[in-house]
Chains A and B, each alone.
Chain A
Amino acid sequence: MPNVFAVPVFFIVFRETLETAIIASILLSFLKQTFDTPESDRTAYVRLRRHVWLGLISGMFIVLAVGGGMIGAFYGLGVDAWAQSENIWEGVFCLVASIIITVMGAAILRVSKLQSKWQKRITLALQAPSKGTTFGQKLEKYSLFILPFITVLREGLEAVIFVGGVGLSYPASAFPIPVLTGLLAGSVIGVILYKGGNRFHLQIFLIVSTCFLYLVAAGLFSRGVLTLEMHQYGKLVGGDVAETGVGPGSYDIRQSVWHVNCCSPTFNGGGGWGIFNALFGWTNSATYGSVISYNIYWIAVIIYFLYRYFKERKEADTVSESDTEASKINRNIEAKTPQQTGVDVDEKSA
């Protein structure tokens, strides 16, 4: 299964899609609230909504083209160059992937924080004073196109780079399915957010998926250390250690904490043990390095989240009981007329 479904790739695509979907939903609800009122111009609303969708779609298109090209080129050129010292690259990429997932994973958990962050940014962008130059004016006129376009481009290219980085240790066949399912899952969550579905259930879902995300990252971290150790061992043995199968000689006894002559997540494709490895970091041959790194990873994650938990609880207590940042900003936007924002709804340009 690791050969057709790269779990980290799924989570990265999911995360980036979700972020894009949040932006899109904020923009669309903003338009709806501001322009889709009985007294405002309906055509302007339709035109601006088209701008948003155009921005999203064209951004998406470019990302797919660039991303496909990059990953294609990478597999076309890169893999052979790295095959010589496969273990060292695989180890480094596992560690990189683990760190990327760890850093970006927390954001999914606080989807309302993510929403409020984008609300703030979008508001700032829409409120930016006009520069007066023609180019600036043009930019302003199409800002509801440019904003989603740039965002999708930025998030998308970020995803491509992350997917590339995370997926280096996977064969090309492991990409398409997680990319598609990640896109789908992210979009579905985005729609749920926009439609204002059951946020409670959504949050439960996000908590569960974040837990999986961190299990994956912990496993990757441990596997990265293990693979680097295997690289060292391979240098000592002077051959391809994988050739020796799963029995004696396939591992460095001096570092071994446990070893069973079966259940290998890598030998002969890994089978079910490969899934077990991708989700939970299982290995049939654990070393001091891999066990200690796995535990240290979790200790670091625990300390970080506890810190965030207590910090945010304190903040929530001190700010105010009823007002969250997000609702304040929401009200801010509502208080302003469209004419006062940076978006100059120019009838003539229609």
Chain B
Amino acid sequence: MKSLAVALPILSLVSTALAKTVTYDFNVTYTEANPDGQFSRRVIGINGKWPIPTIDVEKGDRLVVNLFNGLPDADTSLHFHGLFQNGTAHMDGPAKVTQCALGPGQRMTYNFTINQPGTYWYHSHVKGQYPDGIRGPLIVRDPKGPYAGKYDEEVIIALSDWYHDENPVLFSKFLSVGNPTGAEPVPNSALMNETQEMPFNVLPGKTYLVRMVNMAAFAAQYFWIEGHTMRIIEVDGEYTEEAEADMIYFTAAQRYSFLLTTRNDTSENFAIVGSMDQDLFDVVPDGLNPNVTGHLIYDASKPLPEPSFVDEFEPFDDFGLTPLDGEDLWEDPTYSFSLEVMMDNLGDGANYAFFNGFTYVAPKVPTLYTALKSGNLSLTPEIYGRDTIPHVFKHHDVVELIVNNNDPGKHPFHLHGHTFQLAYRSDVDAGLYDASDSSVTFAQKPMRRDTVLINPGGNMVLRFRADNPGVWLFHCHIEWHIQSGLIATFIEAPDVLQSTLKIPQDHLDVCNGQNLPAAGNAAGNTQDYLDLRGQNLSPAPLPAGFTARGIVALVFSVVAAFLGIAVIALYGSQELKQKAA
């Protein structure tokens, strides 16, 4: 203990000598853009510009983002996707989870140290805001990393999808009685680095480290470079053993880095293709171009070829990747639970997404603030609200999360604050996970990542160690499903948080400035944390069959019919009387 106390200042001296502080001043504003050349629209940019800047730091740097909400009519916040925020859980960014959303004219500072190398991204974590433009890559360079020296240059390619309508407009149609099947709005275009016809000028005989991220709201993309092989070395910030791939499937929010060695001759250029996975779309609209094309340009004077037709998509299976550190599967989970995914309609007629029969509704108080102020009750899930779908882990629990996808759709599930081991992933339509099934075999050195695809009707087993006290969301990274409630809240070691974390005043001021509670349980009750009266809840379920009103209506109708028949018979019986007479 003593030696540690001595060692720490020395270590921090060393690191401050090397590391620097990178500061960004971000003013979130509206601006205009027309990235697909089809339609000019209002977008959310930063400092009057769009696309927004790429955050570019080195491993060990301190990142400071001074955020000002210059939007006149919308809240905002920033989430740094994939960063663990170990020790800085309050910097994670999702509104109503680790902070209050910034109202118009408010400001706050994100300030944390980054020790994870790799490819990340940052985006607004307020409702479905980032598809309107506030999304950008976040690169943590690693000049001393295991693959340093194996490439000549680093390049970023960010895939994305694009809508011509703003999210609030689309959302009001999506989550409504008029869309009972929950059909997600289909993007109008696919983009590459927020544009189309992206050029990638290369020199022959060189090796590039290509860092890729899919910043889409919805669409996954198949990605390939004609005439070239990609050597994957990183997924979601985790180095892997080198693996060759001809085609990579990027769900929304997934990242891959790969080494690309160029050809030795410059006789031709090659198409770089991203193709949206149309299986995700309920109905493919007429005239949709699912593809976005860029070019690997060896010689600008040579023609840029059209991409050639592919018969079938055969992407690389990420399950087969091995982490470079060779970490073994976490054995003997101490906290094992399952989440059942399904879609259903609630009493308002709209189609919601459910984990274990509940659909996420944000609490009145950010969950992190509830955890910090609830004393011994912080380990009691109920205080976080029924519809935040809370699960509480103890420090250093080995957590096993089984996800059963009862929905016929593909879902990219993302966990904040961690990468998890993908111990097992079933095929399509395998049904519920069955631990006693002998054909189920776990990966021994499983791939780790923070966003993983679950197959339609399938299941998967994730494992991770609860070594990062904080409040972390587990959710589908399709923004439409975030908005229809496919989110669970994991509260990790809240007792440790209470002794280690202090919320900066500027974070609390964001709540205070809007008269939002910054303490109390999910219902805002600061006196009795077990009294959840007034908590935010989802709409009531659909009425089941005959309710009181249905029975009354049916009885009235039957009585009316019988009375009518009686009167008809009475009238008809006149004839009988006349006959008798």
Contacts and interface: CB of A to CB of B under 8 A. Distances in A.
Interface of A: 106, 109-112, 199-200, 203-204, 206-207, 210-211, 214-215, 218, 236-239, 244, 248-250, 252-254, 256-261, 280, 286, 291, 294-295, 298-299, 301-302, 305-306, 308-309, 312-313, 316, 321-322, 324
B573 A280 contact: no
23 contacts: A110-B574, A206-B572, A207-B573, A211-B569, A218-B564, A249-B181, A250-B180, A252-B177, A253-B345, A256-B543, A257-B550, A258-B545, A258-B550, A258-B551, A286-B553, A291-B553, A295-B557, A298-B561, A308-B571, A309-B571, A316-B578, A322-B581, A324-B578
B333 interface: no
B556 interface: yes
B563 interface: yes
B564 A207 contact: no
User: From DSSP, what is the main secondary structure of chain B's interface residues?
Assistant: helix
Interface string B536-575: 0000001101110111011011001101110111111111
Given A109-B571, A203-B576, A257 B542 contact: no
Interface in B446-494: none
B2 interface: no
A301 B550 contact: no
Contacts of B543: 256, 259
4 tightest A-B contacts by CB? A258-B550, A249-B180, A248-B345, A253-B349
B343 to A, nearest CB: 10
Contact of A109 (B180, B556, B575): B575
A249 B345 contact: yes
Given A111-B575, A253-B542, A207 B181 contact: no
B558 to A, nearest CB: 9
B179 interface: yes
Nearest to B343: A248
A5 B545 CA distance: 29
A301 B178 CA distance: 36
B347 interface: yes
A313 B570 CA distance: 12
Nearest to A241: B180
A308 B181 CA distance: 51
A215 B557 CA distance: 11
Contacts of B177: 236, 252-254
A112 B553 contact: no
A306 B572 CA distance: 11
Given A249-B351, A259-B543, A298-B560, 8 more contacts: A200-B576, A214-B564, A215-B561, A238-B178, A248-B349, A249-B180, A306-B571, A321-B581
B571 A291 contact: no
Given A210-B572, A211-B568, A214-B564, A258 B554 contact: yes
A319 to B, nearest CB: 12
B81 to A, nearest CB: 33
B344 A248 contact: yes
B579 interface: yes
B568 A207 contact: yes
A61 B45 CA distance: 79
A218 B545 CA distance: 23
B564 A203 contact: no
A220 to B, nearest CB: 13
A200 B578 contact: no
A203 B572 contact: yes
B579 A203 contact: yes
Contact of B181 (A106, A244, A254, A260): A244
A258 B546 contact: yes
B571 A286 contact: no
Contacts of A248: 180, 344-345, 349, 351, 542
Contacts of B573: 207
B348 interface: yes
Contacts of B554: 258, 286
A237 B178 contact: yes
A252 B542 CA distance: 11
Nearest to A299: B560
Contacts of B564: 214, 218, 298, 301-302
Interface in B479-534: none
A294 B575 CA distance: 28
A258 B351 contact: no
B557 A291 contact: yes
Given A211-B569, A244-B180, A302 B563 contact: yes
A306 B567 contact: yes
A294 B560 contact: yes
Contact of B179 (A237, A280, A286, A308): A237
B549 A109 contact: no
Contact of B572 (A109, A238, A260): A109
Nearest to B556: A295
A258 B555 CA distance: 12
A156 to B, nearest CB: 26
Contact of A259 (B351, B545, B575): B545
Nearest to A247: B345
A216 to B, nearest CB: 11
A301 B567 CA distance: 9
A260 B542 contact: no
Contacts of B178: 236-238
Nearest to A235: B178
Contacts of B351: 248-249
A106 B545 CA distance: 37
Interface string B154-187: 0000000000000000000000011111000000
A207 B569 contact: yes
A322 B574 CA distance: 15
A148 B180 CA distance: 58
B428 to A, nearest CB: 22
Contacts of B572: 109-110, 203, 206-207, 210
A210 B572 CA distance: 9
B549 A112 contact: no
Contacts of A312: 574
B60 to A, nearest CB: 52
Given A259-B545, A291-B553, A298-B561, A110 B575 contact: yes
A251 B557 CA distance: 20
A107 B60 CA distance: 95
